[in-house]
Structure 1
Amino acid sequence: MRDGSNSEIMASINCVTYNHSAFIRQALDSFLMQKTDFEYEILVHDDASTDGTGDIIREYAEKYPDKIRPLIQTENQYSQGIDNISGAFNFPRARGKYIFMCDGDDYFDSPDKLQKQVDYMESHPDCTLCIHSAKIQLMGKAVTERQMRPYRKTTVIKPEEIIDKASGYAMSSMAFPARLVKELPDYYTDCPVGDTPLQLMAAANGYGYYIDEPMSVYRVGVSGSWTAEGKKGNYAKKQQAYYERMKIVYEEFDKATGGRYKAAAMSASNRTYYQTKVNTRDFKEILNPLYQRYYKELTPLTRFFIQFQYRTPGIYHLLRRLVTGSND
């Protein structure tokens, strides 16, 4: 806090965590380091972690009782069929005017993040989604870093662009007015992921603003994450089920908005379908001329490996086994 005279809570940081004992301290420390001229709170939901994450959260809550508000489950809620933990447990208890998103295995990378995003939204009340670029840490034998940068300069984002975009937004970059989640539409509760419906809700109620500055870090490949768990078992079947649920989400969004964004919603649905085919290497659909637009959106390196695997599968799999030791 730069000035403790304003006791009204301006921002609520929404943190959902499960078995993040290796990361949660860094996340909480990054929340606590924020320099603001307003009050903010940290809402942490732990979904019955089994690795001691809950104990770490309790430790921090005892040390910072005026900042950290924990909710530590004794029974895992995700396994009970609750996909969107934030909407079920954190949004209803948020007291801030704005909500900031960050999972327990990610963290903020700038002490000015909250202040910069709140400043913009306060001076532009029609802005319903404020995001920024983020660093990406690829977890594995060696941690490598990239950048999630959906745009190449600070810019206003039209609603149609929020809905139908080639590059995703880091959840740890997202901030929006809390009024958006006072009543959650069906397409939020029916969605298998939490960030997409929030973006759709923002698009339906205003516009977006992107700050071209990496103010958070998004970890990819963390054991137990939604992405990592999704690759276990019958991956193709899981990808098909994911697309079918997302298709319903976009249809429900289109209905809820009276068809105002039908073209963008249908395109976003088709892109989701295409991405699942890329993930499962369904070459018939990947190279289908109907989806040429989405093929062109892939990075040059991804397109190279798709063509390499498609044209010379034997050599591709041999090289893959030599490099990674994997038969996939």
Structure 2
Amino acid sequence: MGATLNSPVPERTAPVLSVIVLCYRQDEYVGACLQSVVDQHLDVPFEIIVGDDNSPDNSLAVIESFRARYPDLIKVVAHDTNVGCAANFADTVAIAKGEFIANIDGDDVMLPGKLQRQLDFLKAHPECGLVVHRMRTVDQDTLEPVLYPLPKKKPATFDAAYLIRNGPYFFHSSEMYRARLRRRGPVDVGLKAVCDLAHLLQVVVGTQGCYLDEELGLYRVNRTGMTSMRIRNPERHRESMNDMIETCLIAANLGVESDAVNRGRARFYLTSAIFYLEHGREDSFEDCIEASRRSARIGMKQLVLYSMRRWPRVLCTVYTRAKQVAGRQRMNA
């Protein structure tokens, strides 16, 4: 896929854990990310594989400076063209040699003890294929805590059906999983905007995921990142929505029960309907809310939006007001 691999001399001891670091345009942050991985204390050998997706800034230079300092520890997959997040991940994870794999994005940070804690957990719980954890959401520059909209419900265990029905309630940078589960099938590189959920489904199907309610990392809320761009840009959102609907097909092909897949599809369309309603895209709103209702019945919010779909301007005013009231109630709680 147009990537070059800059690798160190062959390892003296095969790694038990492979840490996958994905980077694109993160030269201000990737150094802190890599330092937090290098500083982890483990009782097993590990490797760090960094995939840079042809960053237009100095990200690769920062990464190479770390590789020069830690040549026996760090490998670099440097793409000579921008291939997208899924292909960058696919090329990088393909050379992982560990029995276990941990993911982190290039602008996030591991806290001390993170990797050993997750590794110990997976070794002690053979029924668990994936373990994730709570992360502190912080401002990208100041590292001061900031709010981030994650689901309130965080079950201790989950399966593929739960993920497609409800979505992840944790961050990509908190994942550690058994490599054999990832190697059961290829990464779907056709997903251009949102590939995290498809990856999780491919890993978790047929096994169990576990959530540690322990703060083991920092997630930078990046105002200029891909998520922020999609939030502000209706055209980019359409790309994301298409990827999520494609993910539902992936879930069905993996054998996830149809009820969970249909409810997941309804939820994705509902989220997009709300997005388009708030951005004044009336036709797109109506198309999405009708698609959501056709997919599955998933609650009062969907029912109200569907019932008022012919009056989107009135509905937008009412919905905005309801959100403001709900927000004040949460703040006063």
Match of 2:258 among 236, 258, 262: 262
Contact 1:138–1:221, Cα closer than 8 Å, also in 2: yes
Q: Distance in 2 between matches of 1:272 and 1:153?
A: 19
1:155-194 counterparts in 2 under 5 A? 155-165=156-166, 168-185=169-186, 188-192=188-192, 193-194=194-195
Instruction: Show the counterpart of 1:229.
Output: 229
Q: Is there any run of 5+ residues in structure 2 with no aligned partner, and where?
A: 1-11, 303-312, 324-333
Deviation at residue 152 of structure 1 after TM alignment: 6.5
Paired position in structure 1 for 2:62:
56
Q: CA deviation at 1:166?
A: 5.3
Q: What is the CA distance between 1:136 and its match in structure 2? A: 1.4
Provide the C-alpha distance between the structure 1 equivalents of 2:25 and 2:271, rounded to a whole number of angstroms.
Answer: 28
CA contact (8 A) 1:128 1:205 kept: no
1:53-202 matches, cutoff 5 A:
53-78=59-84, 83-87=86-90, 89-108=91-110, 110-139=111-140, 144-146=145-147, 155-165=156-166, 168-185=169-186, 188-192=188-192, 193-202=194-203
Residue matched to 1:325 = none
**Structure 1 unaligned residues grouped into runs of 5+:** 1-5, 297-305, 317-328
1:29-48 aligned at under 5 Å gives the runs: 29-48=35-54
Single out whichever of 147-156 and 212-221 deviates more from structure 2. Answer: 147-156
Equivalent residues of 1:129, 1:174 under 8 A apart: yes
Deviation per CA, 1:209-262: give whole Å up to 9, x if none.
100012112222342x22233356xx33432332233212212321232xx422
Partner of 1:26: 32
Q: Which whole-Å deviations, capped at 9, do the CAs of 1:274-328 have from their partners, x for residues lacking one?
A: 11222233586699895663849xxxxxxxxx999523979x9xxxxxxxxxxxx
**For 2:214 and 2:277, how far apart are their aligned partners in 1?**
34
1:273 shift after superposition: 1.3
Q: Distance in 2 between matches of 1:105 and 1:268?
A: 29
CA deviations on 1:25-74 (whole Å, 9 max, x unpaired) are 11001101111111111110112222211111111101011111112233
CA distance in 2, matches of 1:63, 1:141: 27
- 1:167 deviates by 5.2
Q: Are 2:244 and 1:246 aligned?
A: yes
- Give the Cα separation in 2 of the matches to 1:53 and 1:148: 28
8 Å contact from structure 2 (residues 167, 197) kept in 1: no
1:310 match: 317
Q: Normalising by structure 2, what TM-score? A: 0.75
Matched, 1:271 2:267: yes
How many residues in Structure 1 have an aligned counterpart in Structure 2?
Answer: 290
Q: Work out the CA distance in 2 between the residues paired with 1:125 and 1:35.
A: 23
Measured in 2, the distance between the counterparts of 1:269 and 1:129 equals: 24
Cα-to-partner distance string for 1:112-141 (whole Å, 9 max, x where unaligned): 111111111112223111101111124489
Distance 1:51 1:213, change over 3 A: same
| CA displacement at 1:203 relative to structure 2 | 2.9
Cα deviation, residue 144, structure 1? 4.7
Instruction: Work out the CA distance in 2 between the residues paired with 1:189 and 1:16.
Output: 15
CA distance in 2, matches of 1:16, 1:216: 16
Deviation for aligned residue 1:189: 2.9
- Structure 1 residues 185, 267: CA separation in 2 closer, same or farther (over 3 Å shift)? farther
Distance 1:67 1:142 in 2: 27
Please list, as runs of the form range in 1=range in 2, the aligned pairs for 1:311-326 lying within 5 A after superposition. Answer: 311=318
Verify the 8 A CA contact 2:164 2:248 in the aligned structure 1: no
What displacement does 1:158 show?
3.6
- Tell me if structure 1 keeps the 8 A contact 2:273–2:289: no
Contact map agreement 1:8 1:38 (CA 8 A) in 2: no
Match of 1:293 among 277, 289, 299: 299
Secondary structure in 1 matching 2:137 = strand
Instruction: Determine the C-alpha separation between the residues in 2 that align with 1:215 and 1:43.
Output: 20
Amino acid paired to 1:125:
P
Of residues 17, 21, 35 in structure 2, which corresponds to 1:15?
21
SS at 1:164 equivalent: helix
Q: TM-score, normalised by structure 1?
A: 0.76
Amino acid at match of 1:84: A
| Counterpart residue identity of residue 105, structure 2 | D
